[in-house]
Structure formats: structure tokens, C-alpha cells
Chains A and B, each alone.
Chain A
Amino acid sequence: MTKFMRTTRLTRGVIAVVAACLALSSVVLSSAAASASVRLPSSGVETPTGGTVSETGSTLLYPLFNLWAGGYSEKYSSTTIQTAGTGSGTGISEAENGTIDIGASDAYLSPTVASANPSLKNIPLAISSQVVAYNVPGVTQHLKLSGKVLSEIYQGQITTWNDAAIASANPGVTLPATPIVTLHRSDSSGDTFLFTTYLSKADPSGWGAKIGYNTTVPWPSAPGALGETGNSGMVSGCKATVGCVAYIGISYLQQVLQGGMGYASLQNGAGQYELPTQQTIATQAAGYVKKTPASGTISLIYGNIKGGYPIVNYEYAIVNAKQSSSSTAKNIRSVLEWAINTKYGANSSYLTQVNFQPLPSKVTAQSIKQVLGIS
């Protein structure tokens, strides 16, 4: 072996080792760069890679998502959003098993599901609320209903509209003796989740202890209780049934009023009866802003907030943070960033059509942070 060959072999070895180190580090660095540095462009919305983003879930969010789908496709014609209204439970399920890209839900993930699926996120998109509508002939005013009264109605303990419990809270209103027909959602519904949360918090020893809250609950057998599918089913069912009471998402308020139905002032945790106005909803949301965690998982319902409407909630996009392809992830991020941005989706031109409100800025920032984590 000549000296030349030994040197060459040594040099070759050194070069090989250095090259390997460089290659390895560049791979590590580039993957780290790819996963960590998803940055928002200055416009606030990333450009999508094109294709279809599928969304399904809450019928409360559905009208807004439909409007968003139209607006988004105008700006990014390469990408279409396919929407459906199938119920919040379906939104959560199908986001969890990958059937759908974005699940819409009025309900946040329960601790059980969140811990079983650590990569599943619930990202607040907007603030919405729920009304309690009724079809009582001759009553044109807004009836004052408390959670306890509603709990007893839905349990079948109060059966007619002129019951003493309702009359005492509504002096001066002539209530007919019409029997009450309670409407509930038969699909797996975020509206059920919201309404039963309200009933549980307002009547903890009654509804809260016996039935609790969920997207599907065992509704007690109130006389004539009916199940409807979707918010629009609740609207049409209540319109067709004299004496009905139904919990309906606020995005359907126009249809409720067009159907000749009234909606109630609900009693909040501070004892006041409030109507769902922009003011009262904003007050309720503001009362919970500080407490909203980074994950967005919090209930805004009830609580001792003066002047707040008691049934208010974040509308969530349920998304799996680990997507199968980076282009799908980019599309989803783009859609969500567009939706939360006050210049685009969170603009009042969209939100006022459905009586929603934009997120407080602190929550917006938290949501964006969650969105950027989708890859």
C-alpha cells in the first residue's frame, strides 16, 4: 500500500463522513423547517393548492358555511368547498375517522374523545347562539322562559301553555290552554348539546342529574314529543305544530319569524331575562374570553354574566391536525384562515346574514395558532 493510496483512502473516508453529516443535517433541518415554519402571508390567508375541501356537520353553521363556500371560491377558483348539514355529532365523527376534511360542530370535543384522539382539534370560528322558538296562537310578545321551566316542559311536567309556572313569569300575557308539544333533534346534534347544557346548568338537580347533556340524549316522554332532523326540520316541524316549543339555531331566525313563530327571552345565570341580540350575545361572549383556553374547549353557556344571553357558543371546526397529505392540509388551512379573517369570512357582510358574531381578537389569535398547526 503506497502512502498516496493511504492518504487518498483517508481523505475519501473524511469526505464521505462530512458529506453524510451534511446530508443528514439538511434532511433534519428541512423537515423541521417544513413542519415548524408554516407562516401566514401578509394577506393573512395562504393560497390553496386546489381541489375540493369537504365539510359536514352542524346545521347551525351550515348556512354560514354555504355563504363562505361561495365567497371563498370567488377568490380562489381552484378550490371548491363541498358542504353538508348532517349534525354536529357526524361532523366530529367523520373528522375523526378522516371521511371529511372539516367537521363543523357546535359542541366542543368531550374529554373522552379529546384524549382518545390527541391530534383532533376544535377550532373556534365564530360566535353563535340559539333561540327557543314557540308556536302559541295569540301570543305575539316574547315569552319569558327560565331554564327550570324549560326543563320541566321537556320532562313533561308542564303540559299546557297556561301553566302557572309560565304565567307567573309572564304577567299580562294571555296564555291559551294549548297543550305543549316539545320538539327535539333526532340526529346527533350540537344544538341538542347546547340546549341540554343550558338545561343542566339551570336545573342541576333536575335535568342535570337525570339526563345531562350530550349530542343525543334520552328525551323524557313528554306527551307528543316529536323528533326532527336538522335545524330546518325543527323550523318546519314547529311551524306545522300548534303549541310547539323548539330549540333552533340563531342562523334560522329569519325562517322562524317568517313562519309566524315567536322566540323567548331566556333567564341567564344572573337571574335576568334576555333576548338574543347582538348586545347580549357579545356581553356573554366577552364574559368568557379570558377563560377561553388555547384549545378553544369551553362552554359559554349560562354563567353569572349580567346582561348576557345564556345560550351562546363558539362554532367549532373539528379538524385532524395530522392530515394525510400536505396539499390537503394547505387547503384546509387556507379555508379556515379565510373564514376567521375579519376582512373575509369574519366580515359582517357574511355574519350578519346568520346573526353570528366575529370572535374576540384574543380568541382569533388562538384559533389561527391552532390552524397553523395543521399539517
Chain B
Amino acid sequence: MSTVGGMAGSVPATPHADSVGKPPLPRRAADFLRRNEETGWRGVAWVAVILPLAALVFAITVLAVKAWPVIGHNGWYFLYGRTWTYGNQGYGGGPGATFGAWAIIWGTIASSVIAIVIALPLSIGAAFALTERMPTWISRPLGFTIEILAGIPSVVIGLWGILTFAPWLAHNVYPHIASVMPDVPVLRYFRSPTGTGEGLLSAGIVLALMIVPIITSTTRDLFTQVPPLPKEGASALGMTDWEVANKVTLPWVRSGIIGATVLGLGRALGETIAIAMIGGAALHIPTTIYLPFTTIAATILTQLDGQLANPQGVSTLAELALVLAVISVAVNLIARVIVNRTGRVGAPLGGA
């Protein structure tokens, strides 16, 4: 630089004192960004990953704070009592308000159990059918249908349930079941009256339809991850397909299936809209399995907007929501423990 052009005296021999050795500002900025880019990524990523935990803690705190005023008043009766009334003197609570939520909690658990009992064999059977010996041109569209079923909004399933499926069940299926049931302790629950289709069994069946995709796709993925050599070896030893499935495949995927089932259970516990539409909204335990009932989620959904001017009602519904939140968190944690213990995680829904 100092020798270019040869203009005597116009360019100083030594550079200006302040900018000794430093590149110009734009270049310095680019260097700064490049060096600290990773820190930037890390920082934002840290904030992002803390968010779910923060949201959970926030949600539970809000519920606890909102429910606090009535927890003492409702006491333990809340969990085992069977009468749920906002008072008997007109809108807005007051004397006579008793909140016993056992029937509601029972309904939540019962509908989820029915859903699991129906969904589990269906899912495993369907997963086997789809992965063993089925040509691709059938299994692809069927697999796609299952994915669609997973994605359909529950309100649409509820609409079909209440307008078409539940009445069909009540006319064509339930009377036949009820007519063959003897009057013995457990089966007594399946006798008449069979109601109009809005009730526990219909809701349970629809719930099963909603959680089958979760269990089926996880099971299918797990089946494809089973190492082929043990299966081929068992076949070579002369075991039939059924025996291979039973003795080799199923034990391998058992804990994964249990994990997926508990996940489906978590989904069933929180399902709101479909139950609100098909369940029939009865605040007591039904006398037969076909009759109306209610769940925590459906109760909160249908009752909250009517109670907004009644602080006691709002706080009690918060307490109910807290109960559901605790149950749901517990179920999901158990699922994680089961899945993590064997290190086998099912592929995410909707993934490849």
C-alpha cells in the first residue's frame, strides 16, 4: 500500500495509530456473529426447551390457586361424594351447594378402561394383519386410513357418533347383547334398559376408535424393529406364524405396547368433546353400561360457561380440573417410566 502509485508525500509511510491491526467494522461484526452464532442458537434453544416444563408448572399452579378457596370447604367429600349440585335456590350457588365428584371421576376412569379394553386387542390384531403377509397395495391405503383416523378432529367423530353410530348401536347391537345376558353380578351390568345410544358403552367404543391409531402405529413401528433373525430362526425350527408372533414378536415389543397403551389411556382420560356429545351428561353413575354418564372433562366443558358468575362454581370446577390434571400427569409419567426402562421409544405419530 505504501509503495503503490509512487506519489511522494501523499500517503504516510506508517498507518494511522488507532486502527493498527484491526479490520474494518463490517468485518468485525461478521466475525462476532460467526463466533457467537452457536451461543445464540444455544440460548434460544434453552429458553424454548424450558417452556413445556414452565407451562406445566404454570398450569398446575393456576389451578391450585383458583381451587384453593373451595378445597377446604369441599373437603374429602369431593372425591367420594355422589351429589353434585350448585345449591337449590336458584342460579349462583348459595346454601345447599354440595360438590361430590365421585360419579364424575368414576365415569372418567370407566370410559377410559372400556376404551383400552376394546382398543388394545383391535390395535395389536390390526398391526399384525398389516405387517404380516399383506401386499403393499393394501397395507398402504389402510395405513393411510388409520393415520386419517388419528387426525380427524374429535368433534367430527362426536358428530358422527351422536347422529349415526350411537343410534345404530342402540337399535341393532345393544338389544341383542342385553337379551342374552344372565342376571349374574358382573354381567348384570349389560342388561336392559339399553337406552337410546347415548351412554357409557357408546362413548367407550368411540373413545377406542380414537386411541386405536396411536397404539396401532406404534405397534407397527415396533414390529418392523423386531430383529428378523430370531423370527426366521423360530420359523426354521418349525413354529407356525401364530407361534412366532406369540413367542417371539410379542415379548419383544411388549413394553413398547404397554407404553403406547398408557399413552392412549392418557388421551382417553382427557378427551372432552366426543364424550360431551355422546355421553348423555348424567351426573350420576349409570345403572347399566348403556346409560348416560359424564366425565371430568365433559363436565368442565359444559358447566363452566354457565358458572362464570358464580365464584364458588368456578373454583370447584378448577378443583375438578386439578384432579384430572393430576391423574393425567401420573398416567403419562408411568408411561414414560415403562418406555424408558427398556430404552424402546415408539416412533412419533405422523412420522415416516
Query: Contacts of A94 on B, CB cut-off 8 Å?
Result: 305, 308
Report if B85 contacts A (CB, 8 A): yes
Those of A194-230 within 8 Å (CB) of chain B: 200, 211-221, 223-227, 229
Report if A373 contacts B (CB, 8 A): no
Those of A72-128 within 8 Å (CB) of chain B: 86-90, 92-94, 96-97, 99, 107-113, 116-117
Q: How far is the CA of A240 from the CA of B196 in the complex (A)?
A: 8
Query: In the complex the two chains form, is B282's CB within 8 Å of A107's CB?
Result: no
Query: Contacts of A247 on B, CB cut-off 8 Å?
Result: none
Contact with A along B261-290 (1 / 0, CB 8 A): 000000000000000000011111111000
Our count of residue pairs bridging A and B at CB distance below 8 angstroms stands at 134
Q: Can you report 17 A-B residue pairs in the complex whose CB atoms are below 8 A from each other?
A: A86-B305, A87-B305, A88-B91, A96-B309, A97-B309, A110-B94, A211-B85, A212-B85, A212-B96, A213-B88, A214-B86, A215-B306, A216-B86, A218-B85, A219-B284, A221-B285, A224-B193
Out of B284, B287, B309, name the residue touching A92 (CB < 8 Å): B309
Query: Contacts of A282 on B, CB cut-off 8 Å?
Result: none
Query: In the complex the two chains form, is A214's CB within 8 Å of B280's CB?
Result: no
Query: In the complex the two chains form, is A227's CB within 8 Å of B307's CB?
Result: no
Report if A287 contacts B (CB, 8 A): no
Q: How far is the CA of A70 from the CA of B93 in the complex (A)?
A: 36
Report if A241 contacts B (CB, 8 A): yes
Closest to B284 in A: A221
Q: How far is the CA of A224 from the CA of B196 in the complex (A)?
A: 8
Query: In the complex the two chains form, is A193's CB within 8 Å of B193's CB?
Result: no
CB distance from B280 to the nearest CB of A (A): 5
Q: How far is the CA of A49 from the CA of B86 in the complex (A)?
A: 40
Report if B319 contacts A (CB, 8 A): no
Point out residues on A near B: beta carbons under 8 Å.
86-90, 92-94, 96-97, 99, 107-113, 116-117, 179, 181, 186-188, 193, 200, 211-221, 223-227, 229, 237, 240-241
Query: Contacts of A224 on B, CB cut-off 8 Å?
Result: 193, 195-196, 291
Report if B107 contacts A (CB, 8 A): no
Closest to A227 in B: B281
Out of B93, B283, B292, B308, name the residue touching A93 (CB < 8 Å): B308
Out of A96, A111, A240, name the residue touching B308 (CB < 8 Å): A96
Query: In the complex the two chains form, is A90's CB within 8 Å of B281's CB?
Result: no
Closest to A107 in B: B91
Query: Contacts of A99 on B, CB cut-off 8 Å?
Result: 308
Query: In the complex the two chains form, is A226's CB within 8 Å of B292's CB?
Result: yes
Query: In the complex the two chains form, is A93's CB within 8 Å of B309's CB?
Result: yes
Query: In the complex the two chains form, is A193's CB within 8 Å of B91's CB?
Result: yes
* A113-B309, A224-B196 as given contacts; A219 in contact with B91, CB under 8 Å: no
Query: Contacts of B305 on A, CB cut-off 8 Å?
Result: 86-87, 89-90, 93-94, 188
Q: How far is the CA of A108 from the CA of B195 in the complex (A)?
A: 34
Q: How far is the CA of A216 from the CA of B286 in the complex (A)?
A: 19
Query: Contacts of A111 on B, CB cut-off 8 Å?
Result: 89-90, 94
Q: How far is the CA of A224 from the CA of B195 in the complex (A)?
A: 6
Query: In the complex the two chains form, is B292's CB within 8 Å of A225's CB?
Result: yes
Q: How far is the CA of A169 from the CA of B93 in the complex (A)?
A: 36
* A187-B302, A223-B193, A226-B198 as given contacts; A89 in contact with B307, CB under 8 Å: yes
Query: In the complex the two chains form, is A97's CB within 8 Å of B308's CB?
Result: yes
Query: In the complex the two chains form, is A92's CB within 8 Å of B91's CB?
Result: yes
Query: Contacts of B284 on A, CB cut-off 8 Å?
Result: 218-221
Report if B136 contacts A (CB, 8 A): no
Those of B176-193 within 8 Å (CB) of chain A: 193
Chain A at the B interface: SS class = loop
* A223-B193, A224-B196 as given contacts; A214 in contact with B306, CB under 8 Å: no
Those of B83-109 within 8 Å (CB) of chain A: 83-94, 96
Q: How far is the CA of A213 from the CA of B286 in the complex (A)?
A: 23
Q: How far is the CA of A223 from the CA of B193 in the complex (A)?
A: 8
Closest to A221 in B: B284
Query: Contacts of B306 on A, CB cut-off 8 Å?
Result: 87, 89-90, 93, 187-188, 215-216
Query: In the complex the two chains form, is B85's CB within 8 Å of A188's CB?
Result: no
CB distance from A239 to the nearest CB of B (A): 11
Query: In the complex the two chains form, is A211's CB within 8 Å of B88's CB?
Result: yes
Report if B167 contacts A (CB, 8 A): yes
Contact with A along B299-333 (1 / 0, CB 8 A): 00011011111110000000000000000000000
* A86-B305, A112-B94 as given contacts; A214 in contact with B283, CB under 8 Å: no
Closest to B167 in A: A240
Q: How far is the CA of A221 from the CA of B280 in the complex (A)?
A: 13
* A96-B309, A113-B309, A223-B287 as given contacts; A216 in contact with B94, CB under 8 Å: no
* A186-B302, A221-B282, A225-B282 as given contacts; A113 in contact with B291, CB under 8 Å: no
Query: Contacts of A93 on B, CB cut-off 8 Å?
Result: 305-310
CB distance from B74 to the nearest CB of A (A): 15
Q: How far is the CA of A225 from the CA of B279 in the complex (A)?
A: 12
* A110-B92, A212-B88, A240-B167 as given contacts; A181 in contact with B282, CB under 8 Å: no
Closest to A196 in B: B88
Query: In the complex the two chains form, is B90's CB within 8 Å of A214's CB?
Result: yes
CB distance from B84 to the nearest CB of A (A): 6
Out of B93, B196, B310, name the residue touching A181 (CB < 8 Å): B196
Query: In the complex the two chains form, is A214's CB within 8 Å of B87's CB?
Result: yes
CB distance from B82 to the nearest CB of A (A): 9
Q: How far is the CA of A4 from the CA of B302 in the complex (A)?
A: 80
CB distance from A184 to the nearest CB of B (A): 9
Of the listed residues A96, A181, A218, A221, the one surrounded by the most CB atoms of chain B closer than 10 A to its CB is A218
Closest to B277 in A: A229
Closest to A95 in B: B309
Query: In the complex the two chains form, is A216's CB within 8 Å of B96's CB?
Result: no
Closest to B299 in A: A186
Q: How far is the CA of A211 from the CA of B282 in the complex (A)?
A: 15
Query: In the complex the two chains form, is A216's CB within 8 Å of B196's CB?
Result: no
CB distance from A206 to the nearest CB of B (A): 13
Query: Contacts of B311 on A, CB cut-off 8 Å?
Result: 116
CB distance from B86 to the nearest CB of A (A): 6
Query: Contacts of B285 on A, CB cut-off 8 Å?
Result: 221
Query: Contacts of B307 on A, CB cut-off 8 Å?
Result: 89, 93, 188
CB distance from B332 to the nearest CB of A (A): 29
Additional pairs, 9, CB under 8 Å, beyond known A88-B91, A214-B85 = A112-B90, A188-B303, A193-B90, A211-B85, A214-B88, A216-B306, A221-B282, A226-B195, A226-B292
Query: In the complex the two chains form, is B195's CB within 8 Å of A186's CB?
Result: no
Q: Sorted from nearest, which 3 A-B pairs have the closest CB atoms?
A: A212-B88, A188-B306, A89-B306
Query: Contacts of B287 on A, CB cut-off 8 Å?
Result: 221, 223
Q: How far is the CA of A227 from the CA of B198 in the complex (A)?
A: 9
Closest to A113 in B: B92
